[in-house]
Chains A and B, each alone.
Chain A
């Protein structure tokens, strides 16, 4: 690096232009922005003191990007037209590159000047639409316009690689693409300049461990101030980020301008509904990070002339940035911003619309105008009561993807459902009120009963199939024709015995008896008699058969055989004793008897199937009921499940 030394034309203090790319140096003595040219130094005007920031970055830090070393040599602070200040750091690389490291809301974007192909013209600022892609910018994935805005330079320090004019206004557009691609179009130059790069983490650019002690120490500091309306004390947790703060003493909404407070208005009273459950300043642990509640908002949507309210807590961790904790109908969601370009929108917003993000498909749940009803605490944007955005929610339990569209921005965020117990544990509190209905993205927790719960049913089928060859096929032990002799009267039974036969152990027994009845009946009592143990197993087998014809045609009723199945009997020799009475007792009654073993009957199987199916079926019914309850509150009710 060749260093050019000179004296400040404003205060005569010594100045150094260390990098060849440096165009402006901010005089550390008088804060004048001094530009160099071929002929002389030029005083562009004074810049304000750099506002104290919680940024982990500082001038002189050295990092590495894509194997190239760089040093942070300059910094500018820009103010957004809607409030909010962000830092831009200038990274001078050892190979001559100049990178822009923008830092906003805890996120970092490293970009480089990207010349456009010859003849390529960018859309004008006025023609640029939120959500449109800009194919003129060379990028591996399409870049979508996320934000259009106006900003002005408020302060700077170090060496700046372009002509920074204090308080100069500029129009810009931020674009995002897949895989963290990021671009900014600077419309302060004609033709506009494009800066292309990506969202990065400090680890990725070799600054992850820069001054961790200092960063940690700053984390818990607060700045004490007095309310300009009532004089009451108030403390800012993130004074460098705050744009609005409310006074807890007089309920005033105050503007924060580089640490200075000014009274804006007295807030309208909070809606008549339960107060915030969590206090401002409370700290909660989520995913290993400790977030402090900076602010809380009551928001509402209007459906059929009824307002529905919910609470949102603004969480802050200097190392991570801002997150939200949403409390609605006693359901909780931890919400983080997502890259809009990563969200794939399928179709237009309306019934059945879906979006894809991170491999998940989300179904549309609600499309409404959300209004800020009440605020408390400090905020990094110029929050206003009555501020309204279009909010579209898509769900895929336990996740919710939300799109908020204002006139200048499209923001997407991803919410993860938290149970009351998880939120209580995060804040070390207890006894939060429990939800009374199913939340939009509340996960169903009973899947086990119709997923793994089906395992016993599957095993039952397996056992049933394998048991057939193991227990053997049906075998006939006896098949004999017998004749009962005529009885002495209608009630006197006749008895006859079969020939002996063998019964094997461990096999059920089916006894079938048949009688040649025709429009008559026979009542047969059949005894299986174990010849060794004298044990008797008895079954009653009534037989009746009727037939005839009437105006409808021929008919029959009953049958000429009947059977009964017994559990297995001890193995051994058996005989059948058949005792019968029959309608035509005066004539002999031919009777057939049959004894079979290992009969596949199915009663045991059906009973087991029934018992094992109860829980999975109840699980499925519960799931349908759960989903019906979830979707009944949706503008886009559907009977289908979300899984």
Chain B
């Protein structure tokens, strides 16, 4: 039973790694997401964080 659990875990890690590599996901992501509140114009933009 433990062997099966370990193999499921191992395959899960492999699948997660493969997906991250394929889709460009980073586990240690440095950024933070946000959205501009108003339509974006170069002039007058005052942040969005």
Chain A residues near B (Cβ < 8 Å): 448-449, 452-453, 455-456, 459-460, 463-464, 467, 470-471, 495, 497, 505-509, 525, 527-529, 531, 533-539, 564-568, 575, 577, 579, 597-598, 601, 603-605, 607-608, 611-612, 615
Alpha-carbon distance between A459 and B36 when the two chains are bound, in angstroms: 43
Which of B9, B20, B30, B33 is the one whose CB lies under 8 Å from A565? B30
The answer to whether B25 and A608 have CB atoms under 8 Å apart is no
Q: Name the residue on B nearest A470 (C-beta).
A: B22
Q: Could you tell me the distance between the alpha carbons of A505 and B23 in the complex, rounded to whole angstroms?
A: 8
Q: Out of B26, B42, B49, name the residue touching A601 (CB < 8 Å).
A: B26
B45 to A: closest C-beta gap in Å? 7
Q: Are A538 and B34 in contact (CB under 8 A)?
A: yes
Q: Which of B11, B18, B25, B31 contacts A564 (CB 8 A)?
A: B31
> Least Cβ distance of A450 to chain B in Å?
11
Q: Categorize the interface residue count of chain B.
A: 35 or more
Of residues A448, A525, A536, A598, which shows the largest number of chain B Cβ atoms within 10 Å of its Cβ? A536
The chain A residue sitting closest to B3, CB to CB, is A448
CB contact list, B1-34 vs A, under 8 A: 3, 6-7, 9-11, 13-14, 16-18, 20-34
Could you say which residues of chain B place their CB within 8 Å of the CB of A605?
A: 17
Q: How far is the CA of A567 from the CA of B21 in the complex (A)?
A: 10
Given contacts A508-B26, A608-B17, contact A449 B6 (CB under 8 A): yes
Residues in B with CB closer than 8 Å to A603 are: 26-28
Given A497-B42, A604-B20: A537 touches B14 (CB 8 Å cut-off): no
> What residues of A have a CB within 8 angstroms of the CB of B40 in the complex?
529, 531, 534
| Distance in Å: Cβ of B24 to nearest Cβ of chain A | 3
**Interface CB pairs A-B, < 8 A, 25:** A456-B14, A459-B14, A463-B18, A464-B17, A497-B45, A507-B24, A508-B25, A529-B36, A531-B40, A535-B33, A536-B33, A536-B34, A536-B49, A538-B33, A539-B31, A565-B28, A566-B29, A566-B30, A567-B24, A598-B24, A601-B26, A603-B27, A604-B17, A604-B21, A605-B17
Whether the pair A471, B30 counts as a contact (CB closer than 8 A) is no
Question: Do B14 and A453 touch across chains, with their CB atoms under 8 A apart?
Answer: no
Name the prevailing secondary structure of the A interface residues: mixed
Contact among A463, A495, A538, A577 for B31, CB-based, below 8 A: A538
User: Which B residues are in CB contact (< 8 Å) with A565?
Assistant: 26, 28-30
Q: How far is the CB of A638 from chain B (nearest CB, A)?
A: 30
Helix, strand, loop or mixed for chain B's interface?
Answer: mixed
Looking across the interface, which residue of chain B has its beta carbon closest to that of A463? B18
Of all A-B residue pairs in the complex, the 3 with the closest CB atoms, nearest first, are: A568-B24, A456-B10, A564-B30
Residue of A nearest to B29 (CB): A567
- Rounded to whole Å, the gap between the CB of B46 and the closest CB of chain A is 8
Is B48 touching A527 in the complex (CB atoms < 8 A)? yes
Closest residue on chain A to residue B49 by CB atoms: A538
By the criterion CB–CB under 8 Å, are A608 and B26 in contact? no
CA distance A527 to B36 in the complex (A): 11
By beta carbon, the residue of chain A nearest B33 is A537
Q: Which residue of B lies closest to A528 (CB)?
A: B31
Chain A residues with Cβ under 8 A from B17's Cβ?
A: 460, 463-464, 604-605, 608
Alpha-carbon gap, A453 to B11, bound state (A): 11
Q: Closest Cβ of chain A: how far from B39's Cβ, in Å?
A: 7
Minimal beta-carbon separation of A509 from chain B (angstroms): 8
CA distance A615 to B20 in the complex (A): 22
A622 CA to B49 CA, complexed, in Å: 50
Closest to A449 in B: B6
Alpha-carbon distance between A583 and B35 when the two chains are bound, in angstroms:
30
Interchain CA distance A104-B9 in the complex, whole Å: 57
Question: Taking the nearest CB of chain B, how far is it from the CB of A276, in angstroms?
Answer: 35
Q: Which residue of A lies closest to B6 (CB)?
A: A615
- A460–B35 CA distance with the chains assembled, in angstroms: 36
